[in-house]
Amino acid sequence: MSSETGIVPGSFRDPSGFLFRDGGVLYRQVNRVYQEHYERLMSSGLYVDLVDAGLLIPHGEADLAGPRPDESLLVIEPDVVEFISYPYEWCFSQLKDAALATLEIQKRALAHGMSLKDASAYNIQFVQGKPVMIDTLSFEKYEEGRPWVAYGQFCRHFFAPLALMSYRDIRLGQLSRVHIDGVPLDLATSLLPFRTRLRPSTLIHLHLHARSDTHYSEKQVDPEKLRGVSLRSLEGLVDNLSSGIKRLRWKPSGTEWAEYYGETNYSEASFEQKKNVVADYLDKIKPESVWDLGANTGVFSALAGATGASTVSMDVDPACVEKCYLEFSGNSSGDVLPLLVDLFNPSPAIGWECSERMSILERGFPQVALALALVHHLAISNNVPLEKIADFFAGLCQYLVIEFVPKSDSQVQWLLATREDIFDDYDRESFEREFAKRFDLLDSVDLESSSRTLYLMKKK
Amino acid sequence: MTRLTVRHLSKCSDVREEGPAPSRPREIVGILQSLLLFPFCIFGYIGAGTGSLILQMVIASSLGALVVVKIYWRRIVAFFKRDKESADVEE
């Protein structure tokens, strides 16, 4: 977790200001060098326009000096974002919606005589299922004739990964985790199929863009000469990017969304029973925050979201996360944030000093963790001893709703079909013994027509 | 593939290849020049990338014209739609 007081580690690049915490509250210091732009943002009507459209995080002015008062113009207190997520944890449609939101913000900024000076995907967060710009200091006064300075960054952070996911392989979205300032365009174009050269938007914004970047990388150009792009032309650029992004699509091959549900080991009755038991546990706890680990398409995350809990739904399958986002995110019945997370290799801390972007485990301690149909994957597929699994959950949450799946279950049999059974300790007794060392076992229910058991536990 | 360097770049006549190491006085002039003209002051703190800026100069006017065409096309379509709708109502 970030410290309760001090400057936020990922907020050091922009000279316009930085984020800091004071008494656990997140603030943003606006530096004097940014005064002209901040005043334009607030007085031009752009701030109100973007906040009303749900595109920019609202803020209030705080009566604080800030950690660097010599540089400070003022301190603002932005609304709280419940859970910070990163682009490499988003499914295809989340990244696409974040890209379109960024372009819409730029379009509105241009209409108010301003422009985005950066277009980093990290400036977007999901609030109530919708992409929202969280960096209030990303705007600058528009100067007639000047090109969009964040165009290259936009293409690296959004267009390139989306095109790779759409045209080549959905897993290439993970390139954003390696390349913190977006996927290099020459790498993207070397991976994209030939047909992307025949489509105007990918030809221009990726292929020609990459060529232009390479060609001018070692040439000196007088920056004063890099002008002559009219406002209408910039609007055209934004419009063309937007059309190109909208045309990108992704659907898992060979499946229909309606058919996509990985869990097949339940009868309808036992699945309903499982939903009722989980809903009952959540109703008793009334949690503020829930993480659903191995959430599949998010059916149980939606139950948690419906209780009003801030719910993060994590799964390793991009198709499951996509389906969860399309069905449950921003749903009026509750707030669910679906994320692509591989529990065998969760998002690490990355960037400068390994602290610019937090690891997933640093980003919160959920009151309740749901671990349904998950333990056998951790223990058998990933060879994690039950003791370490219990340790992991004890360090993660206050309450745990966990399903034990015994060896007799057909899913476990399927996992064991191609590996040696070295899991002598994998049984219900060992499971209960290890978890009982760290948790109070509050309740357990055997699921009908199945050998599985659901537990409600509270950390000791 | 079309090279972007030819006639599109008449505005960027200062484009030149990296040459041999400059002499001392030229180096100093160069440093002073880059201090005066360094892209950070003009193009923000993220480093916009010369290639990205030049590509915009090449393509943006065409894309701007495309938007104008799009706007007028929508207006024409909307005009005929309205016409058709009012005819339907009269029927």
Which one of B17, B40, B52, B62 makes the best mutation probe of the A interface by having the most chain A beta carbons within 10 Å? B52
Can you tell me the ipTM of this complex?
Answer: 0.81
Rounded to a whole number, what is the distance in Å from the CA of A167 to chain B's nearest CA? 20
Interface check for B53 against chain A (CB to CB < 8 A): the answer is: yes
* Contact check, Cβ <8 Å, B42/A208: no
Which residue from A minimizes the CA distance to B4? A212
Most confident range, picked from A151-160, A216-225, A448-457: A151-160
What pLDDT does residue B9 have? Answer: 39
Residue B58: closest C-alpha in chain A: A229
Query: What is the overall mean pLDDT for chain A?
Result: 92
Q: Average pLDDT in the A123-135 region?
A: 95
Structural domain includes residue A391: yes
Query: What is the rounded distance in angstroms from the CA atom of residue B78 to the CA atom of residue B73?
Result: 8
In eight-state DSSP terms, residue B4 is: S
Q: Is the pLDDT of residue A330 over 70?
A: no
Q: Label residue A348 by pLDDT band (50, 70, 90).
A: very high
pLDDT tier at A269 (50, 70, 90 boundaries)? confident
Mean pLDDT, to the nearest integer, of A337-354? 95
Which residue range(s) make up the domain with A272? 257-459
CB A406 within 8 A of CB A375: no
Query: How many contacts (CB atoms, under 8 Å) link A and B?
Result: 156
Residues in chain B with CB shorter than 8 Å from the CB of A224 are 37, 42
Tell me the C-alpha distance between A216 and A223, whole Å: 13
- Position A97 in a domain: no
Mark B13-30 as b/e (b = at least 16 C-beta within 10 Å). Answer: eebeeeeeeeeeeeeeee
CB A201 within 8 A of CB B63: no
Q: Which uninterrupted H or E stretch holds B71?
A: helix B50-90
Q: What is the pLDDT of residue A397?
A: 97
Domain boundary (A78, A110, A135) is at A78
Give the whole-number percent of chain A exceeding pLDDT 90.
Answer: 79
Structural domain count of chain A: 2
Per-residue pLDDT tens over the stretch A431-448? 999 999 999 999 999 998
Mutation target for A interface from B29, B31, B63, B71: give the one with most A CBs within 10 A.
B63
Residue A409 covered by a domain:
yes
The domain boundary residue, chosen from A78, A111, A134: A78
Give yes or no for residue B8 having a pLDDT over 80.
no
CA A381 to chain CA centroid, Å, is: 25
Is the CA virtual torsion A177, A178, A183, A189 positive or negative? Answer: negative
- A141: pLDDT strictly greater than 90: yes
Where residue A428 falls among pLDDT bands split at 50, 70, 90?
Answer: very high
Residues of A in contact with B54 (CB under 8 A): 212, 216, 221, 226
Average pLDDT over residues B10-28: 44
pTM, to two decimals: 0.87
Q: Does the structure show a pLDDT above 50 at A181?
A: yes
Task: Please measure the distance between the N-terminal and C-terminal CA atoms of chain B and give it in whole angstroms.
Answer: 55
Mapped to the 3 state alphabet, what secondary structure does chain A carry? CCCCCEECCCCCCCCCEEEEEECCEEEEEEEHHHHHHHHHHHHCCHHHHHHHCCCECCEEEECCCCCCCCCEEEEEEECCCCCCCCHHHCCHHHHHHHHHHHHHHHHHHHHCCEEECCCCHHHEEEECCEEEECCCCCEEECCCECCCCCHHHHHHHHHHHHHHHHHCCHHHHHHHHHCCCCCCHHHHHHHCCHHHHCCHHHHHHHHHHHHHHHHHCCCECCHHHCCCECHHHHHHHHHHHHHHHHHCCCCCCCCCHHHCCCCCCCCHHHHHHHHHHHHHHHHHHCCCEEEEECCCCCHHHHHHHHCCCEEEEEECCHHHHHHHHHHHCCCCCCCEEEEECCCCCCCCCECHHHCCECCHHHCCCCCEEEECCCHHHHHHHCCCCHHHHHHHHHHHCCEEEEEECCCCCHHHHHHHCCCCCCCCCCCHHHHHHHHHHHEEEEEEEECCCCCCEEEEEEEC
Q: Where are the domains of chain B?
A: 22-90
Quick: pLDDT tens for B21-52.
444 555 444 444 443 343 334 556 656 788 99
Whether A34 maps to a domain, the answer reads: yes
Q: Is A149 in Cβ contact with B5 (below 8 Å)?
A: no
DSSP bridge pairs for A116: A139
Neighbour count for residue A136 (Cβ, 10 Å):
23
Kindly state whether residue A101 falls inside one of the protein's structural domains: no
Query: Which pLDDT score is estimated for A372?
Result: 95
Give the pLDDT of residue A254: 58
Instruction: Determine, for residues B46 and A223 on separate chains, whether the beta-carbon distance falls below 8 Å.
Output: no
- Closest CA relative to residue A320, chosen from A410, A255, A245: A255
CATH number of residue A400's parent domain: 3.40.50.150
- Please report whether residue A57 resides in a domain: yes
CB contact under 8 A, A220 and B42: no
Torsion of CA A75, A80, A83, A85, to 10 degrees: -50
Domain stops at, among A27, A51, A78: A78
